[in-house]
Structure 1
Amino acid sequence: MATRGELELQLRALESELPDLLSRGDPFLHTFESRAMQIEAQAQPEDLDYFHQRLEELVASTGVNGLLQAQPWLGLPREFFQYDANVVAPRLLNKLLVMDDGRAGRIVEVEAYVGTLDPAAHTYGGRTARNAVVFGEPGHLYVYRSYGIHWCANCVCGPEGVGSAVLIRALEPLDGLEAMREARGPKIRDRDLCRGPGNMCHAMGITGEDNGADITDPTGRVRAMNDLMRAPFAIGTPRIGISMAKDLPWRWRVPGNRFTSGPLQREA
C-alpha cells in the first residue's frame, strides 16, 4: 500500500494530466475516475479521508464536478480488491452491486473473512473444491449456500492463495425494484428486499451459477461499480450469525442507514 507522500505524488501526476484529458472531451471523465479509483485502492485506511479531501480539491480546481456527477456508473477495477478483506470491506460501503438485467443496489453492510487467520472463514482449514474460488484472483464472486437454504455472495480479496473475502450483507435497492419484488414476494417492504445476505441474493437473482463470476468484467452478469459516493467513516463491530471469532470487529455498515440487517448497535 502507498504512503501518504506516494499518494500525493500520484494525485499531482493526475492533476498535471488534466489539461490534456480535458481537451479530449467526455471520454476523459471515465479515464479520470478510473485512475482516481486505482490511486484510492492503494491508500492506507487512515489516509482515505486525506485522499478524498485532496481529490475534491483537484476536481474543484478543474470546474468539472457537475460533469463527473452526471457520468454513468463506472466499474471497480481489479486493483480495488487486491488487499485483505478487512481493508477492502469498509471501502465497499456505498459502492454498487449491479446485475445485467437492471437490478442494482448500494452496498450498505459488509463483513470481512480473512482466510486462514480467521476461524469463521470458510477458508480457515485450507483450500477445498467448495472454496477454491476464494483462493483465486481477486475481484471474483464467491457464492455458497448457507444451511442448505440461502445463497450468500462474497467479493474475493487479497493476493491469490490468501483465501480472503467480503460478505455482502445488505443493499439499499436503487433500480429494478419490481424484479426484486417478483423474486422476494409482493408484500415485502422496500427496506427488507435486500436486508441480510440471503435476502440480498434472492432479490438480486444471485445463485450458485454466479460462483466465480468476475465482478470487474464490463460485460459480466454481476458487477461491482462506483458512482463516486464516498465511503462513510464506519467503525467496525462484531460480526453476526457466526459461532466462532465473534468478537472480531469486522462488520461495517453505513451509519444510520435503515436498509442494514441484524440488530441495531451503537456505532460510536
Structure 2
Amino acid sequence: MDTLSLFSLKGKTALITGSGSGIGLALAEGLAGAGAKIILNGRNEQKLVKAKDKLSQNGVETDTLIFDVTDSSAVKESVNNYENQKGPIDILINNAGINIRGPFENFDENEWKKVLETNIDGAMTVSQAVGSFMIKRRAGKIINICSMQSELGRPSIVPYAVSKGGIKMLTKALAAEWGKHNIQTNGIGPGYFETELTIPLRNNPEFDSWLRSRTPASRWGQPKELVGAAVFLASEAGDYVNGHILYVDGGLLASV
C-alpha cells in the first residue's frame, strides 16, 4: 500500500478564503505542495496579485477570485462562474476572519455585527455556494478555521469568541447534514500563531510570557505548522473524518 498517496491532492482544486497573506497563504502554499491547484481569495486585489506571483514562481497553478465573503451576491456569482467555466472546486477552506478587540460593556454594536458577519455569515455564504456543487458531485472537503476561542473565552474579544464558537458548531452541523452527500466538513483550531492578527498580543510582554508558560511547546506557532492538518483533512486520508475539530495548539488546550 502506497500510504503517502493517501495525502496527495493532485488533480484537486482548493479555494481558500482570506488567502492573500498569513495563515491563508501558508495553507495555500501547503496544499499546493501536495499537488492541489489553488484559488486565492480576498478583497485586496494587489495583495492577491502579490500572493499569486509568489506561488507562480514556485510552479503552482493559481487562480484568484476577488470578493468579500460578506457580499453574498458576489460570492455566488464568483463561485458559479468558476465552476461553470473552469471546473470543480473540490476543497474549500473557510479562513477569512477578523477580530476587533474592546471591553464588552461598551463594545460598539456595528463592530459586533461586523465580526459575526465576516466570521460566521461569510463562512456560511461561501459554504452554500461551493457546497451546492459538491452535493451534485457527491464529493467535497470543507475545512473551517476555528480557534482556541472555539473552546475558551478571553477578556476583550467576546464577539470573536462568539463567532469562533459558532464556526465550531457550523462545522459539526454541516457534517451531520451533508455527510450523506460524501462531503466531509471539519475544522482546524489554531493555537496562538505568529500572524498579523496576533501582533498586539506578541508585543504585550505580560501576555507573551503567560502564553509561553502555559503552552507545553513553550512558544508561538508558525503558520506552516498548520499545513499537515490541512492536507490530512483535505485528502483521501481524511475520508472517514467528519465533524472533527483538530486543534493545532502546542498542547495549550490539554494543559490549561
What is the TM-score of this pair, normalised by structure 1?
A: 0.30
Q: Which has the larger radius of gyration?
A: 1
Larger helix proportion of the pair: 2
What is the TM-score of this pair, normalised by structure 2?
A: 0.31
Larger strand proportion of the pair: 1
